[in-house]
Chains A and B, each alone.
Chain A
Amino acid sequence: MEKWMLLAAFALLLMAPQTAYAMHIMEGFLPLKWCTIWYIASLPFVVVGLVAINKKVKENPKLKMLLGFAGAFAFLLSSLKIPSVTGSCSHPTGVGLGAILFGPFAMSVLGLIVLLFQALLLAHGGITTLGANTFSMAIVGPIASYYIFKLVKKAGGPNWLAVFLAASIGDLLTYVTTSFQLAIAFPSEIGGFTASFLKFMGIFAVTQVPLAISEGLLTVLVINMLTVYSEEELIELNVLEREGKTT
């Protein structure tokens, strides 16, 4: 009986999109109740993000290009499926950069756009799970990145370290959130939520560790570039001090 069940599950898996890779919660793999909850949870953040972006761009139209830059970075990084030590693949999120530059909420909008593109064109993630995926990748990740950046700076840490920790821990927390979302929707019969949470953490978070480090390094690399070529904008956004100390 058990075997048949497993076979049936596998058959289902074969019918499920073979092509889906990486990390978002797949289309249809979250019960309707939870899809709705996460949609509702994400909505206010996206609205706040839109308002924040508008305000920033109105104050300084020059920043529009840099906003595009942050979006493009997320677009590029989330298209790179990178092998990890667990023997499976996942991809970085690239949202830490935008959070460091534009504050905790701006990336909710840009992240949503990236996720929508992937859900519609790549069958990667999904429309039903868009709320949940937005919450993990475009809300929790960036908010964590922003505050970690501020905290390390406040503690007197060097710029590069603040950027590295912000981007890498933000990336990691995205996947911890994904694990949490799946565990709460699928509590294990034995061991309940905790057992499930550990199971999903083993899949998502552990896979993500080297990728989070990569994302941290890449974000430092990009901030270095911006420090050299776009210093004025970074000073305006309070990422750099007037002195323009390179990281």
Chain B
Amino acid sequence: MKDKRFLMKNLILGLLVILLVVFPLVTIKNAEFVGADDKAAEAIAQVDKNYKPWFKPIWEPPSGEIESLLFALQAAIGAGFLGYYIGVAKGRKNVNR
């Protein structure tokens, strides 16, 4: 029974997160949604016009596609392990019952 209640709670929490994510997309028109660090780079250029980045990334993803592949990979590794852990824990719990 406890499990049922917790599922409801987590569904609601999940929905809240989705709402929070979708909200800016719907309400803000013509936003570019670039990264905050790109904005920071602009701000640095405003504060110190002569500042030049003195180091370049050793390796960069050759294209946006490759980059999204790597980001997806990062998410997949993370999510995969989370699922694995919960699965193992759930199995152990059922055995002990």
Contact = CB atoms under 8 A, between A and B. Distances in A.
Interface residues of A, number: 84
Given A72-B77, A217-B17, A83 B33 contact: yes
* Chain A at the B interface: SS class: helix
* Chain B at the A interface: SS class: helix
Interface in B34-59: 34-49, 51-59
Contact of A88 (B27, B39, B49, B55): B39
Contact of A79 (B31, B37, B64, B71): B71
A217 B9 CA distance: 11
A87 B33 contact: yes
B85 to A, nearest CB: 5
B95 interface: no
A43 B20 CA distance: 36
A139 to B, nearest CB: 19
Interface string B1-34: 0110110011001101100110111011001111
A8 B45 CA distance: 9
Measured as residues with beta carbon below 8 angstroms from the partner, the interface class of chain B is: 35 or more
Contact of A65 (B27, B55, B85): B85
Given A82-B21, A229-B89, A200 B43 contact: yes
B13 A217 contact: yes
B57 A29 contact: no
Contacts of B27: 85
Interface string A13-31: 1001101111111111101
Interface of A: 5-6, 8-10, 12-13, 16-17, 19-29, 31-32, 65-66, 68-69, 71-90, 117-123, 126-128, 182, 186-189, 196, 199-200, 203-204, 207-208, 210, 213-214, 217-218, 220-222, 224-230, 246
Interface of B: 2-3, 5-6, 9-10, 13-14, 16-17, 20-21, 23-25, 27-28, 31-49, 51-61, 64, 67, 70-72, 74-75, 77-82, 85-86, 88-90, 93
